[in-house]
Amino acid sequence: MAQPRRQSGIVSLLTREDAYVSGPQVLSELRRVIASGAVPPGSPIPLDDVAAFFGVSLIPVREALKTLLGEGLLEHQPRLGYTVTALSQAELDELYIVRGALEAAALEAAVRQATPTDDARARAVHQGLGAAVAAQDAAGFQRASREFHEALLSPCHMPRLLHMLEIAWNLTEPVQTMMRVSAEDRAELRADHEEMLNAFVARDAAWLTAVAAAHHSRLTACISSLSDD
């Protein structure tokens, strides 16, 4: 079965592997694309085009958009429809405070339950961070930075907390903050990550907590220096 003709905007970024697409698949793919940062804040979501691409009625698309609205990824206005959420600087600062609090709670549990497999995953992602800094690949650093934090946090085995953290993180992704800070800032953040990795592998919760707090302070200072788009 041939895929529908690709269109501009968010529809051009969607993927579809199966001839039959379920409502949850529509939701998951829309969330993935919006959280990737590839769709600029304020971009409209064309319901008809999205439904046509997936080969579904408007009902599952509307349900997906309502869910994303509840998660904060979308905004809705009468006559204007759904658009990707555009955060103010104050809102962005607040979300980083939320992220920091959730990460701090998860890290202490994670470091106590981590395994050598978790260490290997974190080391591999950290190597990707170093490569991104060396290549001045801001987009690669953006992706690897999140993957590194997720590698350190996943051993906490606190699914509800990790879900809340994922929602908060997804809200900040469209802003692509790591692509807006300087190369020097990215290098310093990467150095923080290295010390966090060393503390994690050493299973030193106090050290990791302290380093993570300093890293978050550096990160929020970088974010606060960014001006509104």
Domain boundaries, the chain: 9-84, 89-224
Over pLDDT 70: what percentage of the chain? 95
Q: What is the pLDDT of residue 76?
A: 94
Residues in the chain: 229
Model confidence at 227: pLDDT above 80 = no
pLDDT in tens, 168-201: 998 988 888 888 888 999 999 999 999 999 999 9
Instruction: Give me the helices (H) in the chain, please.
Output: 23-35, 47-54, 58-70, 89-113, 116-134, 138-153, 159-172, 183-202, 205-224
pLDDT in tens, 124-135: 999 999 999 999
**Could you give the C-alpha distances from 213 to 99, 120, 165, 184, in angstroms and in order?**
12, 23, 16, 20
According to DSSP, residue 2 is labeled P
pLDDT-derived band at 228, boundaries 50, 70, 90: very low
Average pLDDT, the chain: 90
> Model's pTM, two decimal places?
0.81
Model confidence at 24: pLDDT above 80 = yes
User: How buried is residue 197: exposed, middle or buried, by Cβ count under 10 Å (0-12/13-18/19+)?
Assistant: buried
Of the candidates 39, 35, 38, 57, which has an alpha carbon nearest to the alpha carbon of residue 47? 57
Q: What is the pLDDT of residue 79?
A: 81
Domain range 9-84, CATH class: mainly alpha
Domain range 89-224, CATH class: mainly alpha
Model confidence at 64: pLDDT above 90 = yes
- Sign of the CA dihedral 117, 99, 228, 192? negative
**Structural Rg of the chain based on CA atoms:** 19
Of the candidates 187, 212, 189, 197, which has an alpha carbon nearest to the alpha carbon of residue 122? 197
Q: Tell me the two tokens of residue 101.
A: 């609090």
Whether 89-224 and 9-84 are alike in CATH topology: the answer is no
Q: What is the pLDDT of residue 1?
A: 38
How many CB atoms neighbour CB 166 within 10 A? 16
Range 58-82 average pLDDT: 93
Range 22-47 average pLDDT: 90
Of the candidates 33, 30, 91, 38, which has an alpha carbon nearest to the alpha carbon of residue 64? 30
